[in-house]
Amino acid sequence: MNVGRFTKKAVHIFAMFFAMGMLSHALAQSPYPERPIRLIVPFTPGGGTDAIARSLGERLGETLGTTVVIENRPGAGSTIGSDAVARSKPDGYTLLLASTAHVINPTLMPHLPYDTGKAFSAVALVGKAPNVIIVRPDSPLKSFADLIQSAKSAPGKLTYGSSGNGTAVHLAAEMLSRQAEISLTHVPYKGAGAAFNDLMGGQINMLFATASAVAPAVQRGQVRALALTVPKRSAAWPGVPTVAESGYPDYAAEVWYAIYAAAGTPPEIVERLNKGINDAIQSPEFKRRTESEGLQSPILTPAQAEAFTAEELEKWSKIVKQANVHNG
């Protein structure tokens, strides 16, 4: 037996298999992303969430070196778009920009086509922003203290509008009613625009709305802001107090936006997206486009975003049940 020839042949075979293994590993570790990413927005074009998505998508595309395509999939309280992501391939190429509705819907609509706690991988928190309590300039309610005093003296007389039953702004008002021990009459609308029109027309006393929906009207002096629903004052809303500082320190009802991928997305892709999103939300361009609504963008890891989602699910589930709010 020619040991030399056998050894040489074995070395060649080993080298061949090693090369094949390295090639397979290289293919498995293909750089992400290699094609455009879809960012699904479960709301109609032109709204606050859509505006944030387009600003984020532009910055994120630059950071990742690809194109981020915004796809609006509205309907059923944002669950149509969410379901599309839950059913998508977990490869990081289909993402969801969710709002607070993401954690309200499981309790509000118990028969969702997906399990919110299991169907998604949290990627990153995009930001938190205040809801705002507004009145007409000629309203006798000159301050948040006036609102509380009036509500206590005549329970149920004060009316407030919201963008819909079970929305984050509706539940923000329900939370206030319980903590302040007051009774307010809710008038739900199909969108913030209709509610704002009735406020201006005198059909309702006040409106709970997202900052993005009413910031221009407040800046023009069309309406007056009584209070913000965030824990601390916002630099974008100088002079407007918070509910928390006005006697209810445990009160916080922010609207937030976060990015989710389908459950099972590889951790390395989630980490890549997380870094890209965190870089994007810290860019001067993104901050400039979102500063008018007071959006604050803390940097969270995927694990922290997952924990934040779980905490918010528990918080809003309690509020929906306590307020006995039902969809419809």
- Could you tell me the two tokens for 187? 């008038």
Please choose, from the candidates 300, 297, 294, the residue with its C-alpha nearest in 3D space to the C-alpha of residue 283: 297
Query: 316 near 171, Cβ under 8 Å?
Result: yes
Task: Give me the domains of the chain, ranges plus CATH numbers.
Answer: 37-129+254-323 (3.40.190.150), 131-246 (3.40.190.10)
CB within 8 Å of 125: residues ≥ 6 apart:
256, 257, 258, 297, 298, 300, 304, 305, 308
Output the CA angle 131-77-37, nearest 5 degrees.
90
Output the CA angle 315-317-323, nearest 5 degrees.
105
pTM score: 0.84
CA 182 to chain centre: 28
Q: What is the pLDDT of residue 161?
A: 97
Angular region, 61: left φ>0, alpha ψ -120 to 50, beta rest: alpha
CA atoms within 13 A on the CB side of 50: 13
Bond preceding residue 45 cis, omega within 30 of 0? no
For the chain, report the end-to-end CA distance as a whole number of angstroms.
85
Q: What is the pLDDT of residue 25?
A: 44
Q: What is the pLDDT of residue 313?
A: 96
DSSP conformational letter for 296: B
Secondary structure tally for the chain: helices H, strands E: 12, 10
Please choose, from the candidates 54, 118, 153, 121, the residue with its C-alpha nearest in 3D space to the C-alpha of residue 273: 121
CA-based torsion, 279, 283, 285, 291: positive or negative? positive
Query: 244 near 252, Cβ under 8 Å?
Result: yes
Q: What is the pLDDT of residue 292?
A: 76
Give me the tens of pLDDT residue by residue for the chain, a chain 328 residues long.
454 554 555 445 444 444 444 433 443 456 899 999 999 999 888 778 888 999 999 999 999 999 999 999 998 889 999 999 999 999 999 999 999 999 999 999 989 999 999 999 999 999 999 999 999 999 999 999 999 999 999 999 999 999 889 999 999 999 999 999 999 999 999 888 899 999 999 999 999 999 988 989 999 999 999 999 999 999 999 899 999 999 999 999 999 999 999 999 999 999 999 999 999 999 999 999 888 778 999 999 999 999 999 999 999 999 999 988 877 5
Q: What is the pLDDT of residue 20?
A: 43
Query: 142 near 206, Cβ under 8 Å?
Result: no
